[in-house]
Amino acid sequence: MNPLIVANWKMNPSDSLQAEKIAEAVEISVREYETVICPPFTFIEKAGSIFNKASLGAQNCSWEVEGAMTGEISPRMLKNIGVRYVIIGHSERRKIFGESNDMISKKVKTALTEGLSVILCVGETEEEMEDGRTEEVIGIQLEEGIGNSKGDVIIAYEPVWAIGSGKACNPDAAEKARLFIKGKMENLSFQNSRILYGGSVNSKNAADYLNKALFSGLLVGGASLDIEEFKKIIGLSR
């Protein structure tokens, strides 16, 4: 299966013309890697009108499909405008917005029921890594986040300390985490789930995670907004 490269634009860019420019540049640069762009909600429909080779993703969704949920966007709404993937449980949502594994598991279940592919983010903080608790933390995030859900669940291993810090995880340590996640997913009856690496990915280290640490793909934040960087990442050969 070709690698899956997911771009997480986070709350950027604030200018819709800039968003269009990046989306257009990505669309013409997609080669054999499956490329998913997750723009802010306000740009999703516009990006969808530009994409043909690239696919649309969202950065978050509600655990309800409709109703009194002020400020929320439901997986059904996303599906109805052509979104295929949704990121759930990003560490910024866990930390800044207090999302618990229980909330995350409800989101995972509803998104899968609505037919979206879920990109579930897991990863340890620096303190947890230093205490040797990486596997324990990821194990709980997987068990509680997935529960008995069924469907296309992609896991993004994103050590919290590597996100946006420029301190990408060493590929050997990342591979160890990948193997742990693979085993855990098999125990949860997900035999062939794709596992992505995320955290300070750039055009120089991307190939290490795909070719050395054998991840199925990447979740890219900052470098996905830099057109030249992102073009190099999605144009790599395996």
Token duo for residue 179: 């193997």
155 binds ligand PGA (CB under 6 A): no
Rounded distance, CA 213 to CA 117, Å? 23
Instruction: Give min distance, CB of 175 to ligand PGA, in A.
Output: 18
CB 158 within 8 A of CB 169: no
**Could you say which of 99, 124, 158, 175 is catalytic?**
158
Name the one range near ligand PGA by CB under 6 A: 36-44, 45-53, 101-109, 213-221: 213-221
Instruction: Give min distance, CB of 90 to ligand PGA, in A.
Output: 6
Q: Which of 99, 124, 158, 175 binds ligand PGA (CB under 6 A)?
A: 158
Token duo for residue 175: 């591979």
Token duo for residue 77: 């709404």
200 binds ligand PGA (CB under 6 A): yes
User: CA dihedral defined by 142, 129, 92, 207, rounded to 10 degrees?
Assistant: -80
Instruction: Give min distance, CB of 220 to ligand PGA, in A.
Output: 5
Rounded distance, CA 13 to CA 52, Å? 21
The verdict on whether 90 is a catalytic residue reads: yes
Name the one range near ligand PGA by CB under 6 A: 76-84, 136-144, 183-191, 198-206: 198-206
- What's the burial of 207, exposed, middle or buried (CB within 10 Å: 0-12/13-18/19+)? middle
The verdict on whether 144 is a catalytic residue reads: no
Identify which of residues 8 and 105 has a Cβ nearer to ligand PGA in the complex: 8
CB 89 within 8 A of CB 99: yes
N-term to C-term CA, the chain = 11
Q: Which residues bind ligand PGA (CB under 6 A)?
A: 8, 158, 163-164, 198-201, 219-223
| Residues with active-site annotation | 90, 158
